[in-house]
Amino acid sequence: MQRRDDIDLTKGLAILLVVFGHLVARTDPAGVDWYEPLRRAVYAFHMPLFLYLSGLVAVLSGTLLAPRMAWPKVARARAKRLLVPFLGLGVLTVLGKLPASHVMFVDNAPAGLLSGLSALVWHTLHSPALSVWYLFVLFVVSLGSMVILDGQTRRLPWLLGGLLLLYALPLPAYVYLDRVGHYAIFFGLGAGAGMLGARWDVFMDRWWRWLLLVFAACLTAIVFFGVHWNEALVLLPVGALSMPAIHGWLRFYAASSPKLLLILGRYSFMIYLFNTLFIGFTKGVLLHFYAWDGTNFLPFALTLMLAGVLGPMTLKRIVFRRVKVLDQLTD
């Protein structure tokens, strides 16, 4: 599949929102009233947008509709692409947080090695590397959807119906089942968009302005009034609305959009993997010297944003590009 600038631009914006959402983990800064409402609005759509893009690309690349004889090959490729980084980074996070927690502030530090590894893969509500849940969920959802579709686009309604049922079920927070249930439907919607092909593009090109206006109104309402709103009732409509609104907007402005978003989109996987490590390390160092409460939080947050974006990009260019296996795993 040839890379599409409109998809990379949308990924670039989405990954910036991911980094923004990771600036504060368990302990909120005192005297900062603006961050949490903004993060609440971001969390209403940014990961649904990523899952939509994943479903769209899975169809455009031919992976999702692969014939049965190709399933073992697809499963191996998906495991290499998703499970290996998930487990590798998860174990690295556990091993890094344990000693670091003795010398600096560490978000969500595990109590011990075994409990940390157990939480990584079993009691996942308390995973010390919860930020990489998307990799595991995408592995499960992409392979499960491939089997359900069995190479037949006419099975899409059955897939979407099953994913909506999963969304409605109160699944437990074990092995990321709750995340699968909450986010699989957005992968399915992205797959549906991919199957529509040019018709989806025409729909976005025609309606994105009005949809973006409605989407902005929804986010404004979430910021000012959504503190007690039910997450499940917000995530599905706002997440689904973000797909044609944001993708259509960036598709329309693809030629004139900031090249920064295009670059971030092409580094999005690396940034997703390592942004929390760079944010956590930078935060731990800075908190030794400065409080991040009140008016200090804005420059603090900007510094953490730069660390979460530029740190992984620099690691990719200086280290991973020189090691073929690491370079291939993080492209």
Q: Which domain holds residue 40?
A: 28-257
Contact between residue 10 and residue 49 where contact means Cβ atoms under 8 Å apart = yes
Residue type for 34, please? W
Find the mean pLDDT for residues 282-288.
Answer: 89
At residue 35 the predicted structure's pLDDT band, cuts being 50, 70 and 90, is very high
Q: What is the pLDDT of residue 331?
A: 86
pLDDT beyond 90 at 258: no
Find the mean pLDDT for residues 216-243.
Answer: 96
- Is 92 inside any structural domain? yes
The three-class DSSP label of residue 285 is helix
Find the mean pLDDT for residues 101-106.
Answer: 74
Kindly write down the DSSP assignment for every residue of 139-204, as one continuous string: HHHHHHHHHHHTT-GGGHHHHHHHHHHHHHS---SSTTHHHHHHHHHHHHHHHHHHHHTHHHHHHH
* Lowest model confidence (mean pLDDT) among 89-93, 96-100, 244-248, 324-328: 96-100
Contact between residue 159 and residue 149 where contact means Cβ atoms under 8 Å apart = yes
The CA distance from 142 to 57, in Å, is 11
Q: What is the pLDDT of residue 49?
A: 98
In residues, how long is the chain? Answer: 331
Ramachandran bin of 28, using left for φ above 0, alpha for ψ from -120 to 50, beta for the remaining angles = beta
pLDDT beyond 80 at 1: no
The CA distance from 186 to 65, in Å, is 17
Of 257, 217, 246, the residue nearest 56 (C-alpha): 246
pLDDT beyond 90 at 95: no
At residue 99 the predicted structure's pLDDT band, cuts being 50, 70 and 90, is confident
- Six-digit token pair at 20? 């923004």
At residue 131 the predicted structure's pLDDT band, cuts being 50, 70 and 90, is confident
Find the mean pLDDT for residues 9-33.
Answer: 91
80-94 pLDDT, tens digit per residue, is 999 999 999 989 888
- Is 301 inside any structural domain? no
Looking at the 3D structure of the chain, how many domains does it have?
Answer: 1
* Lowest model confidence (mean pLDDT) among 142-146, 259-263, 302-306: 259-263
- Six-digit token pair at 318? 């200086």
Instruction: Please give the distance of CA 251 from its chain centroid, rounded to a whole number.
Output: 20
- Six-digit token pair at 201? 């593009």
Torsion of CA 106, 329, 268, 46, to 10 degrees: -70
Q: What is the pLDDT of residue 96?
A: 83
Q: What is the pLDDT of residue 117?
A: 87
Mean pLDDT of the chain: 93
Please name the residues in contact with 77: beta carbons below 8 A apart, sequence gap of 6 or more.
none
- Is 150 inside any structural domain? yes
- Is 293 inside any structural domain? no
195-204 pLDDT, tens digit per residue, is 999 999 999 9
- Is 288 inside any structural domain? no
At residue 26 the predicted structure's pLDDT band, cuts being 50, 70 and 90, is low
- Is 37 inside any structural domain? yes
Angle at which helix 5-21 crosses helix 46-60, to 10 degrees, equals 150
* Lowest model confidence (mean pLDDT) among 110-124, 128-142, 239-253: 110-124
pLDDT beyond 70 at 326: yes
Determine the longest span between alpha carbons in the chain, in angstroms.
Answer: 60
- Is 294 inside any structural domain? no
At residue 249 the predicted structure's pLDDT band, cuts being 50, 70 and 90, is very high
- Is 318 inside any structural domain? no
The CA distance from 43 to 27, in Å, is 17
What is the reported pTM?
0.95
Q: What is the pLDDT of residue 329?
A: 87
At residue 2 the predicted structure's pLDDT band, cuts being 50, 70 and 90, is confident
Find the mean pLDDT for residues 187-207.
Answer: 97
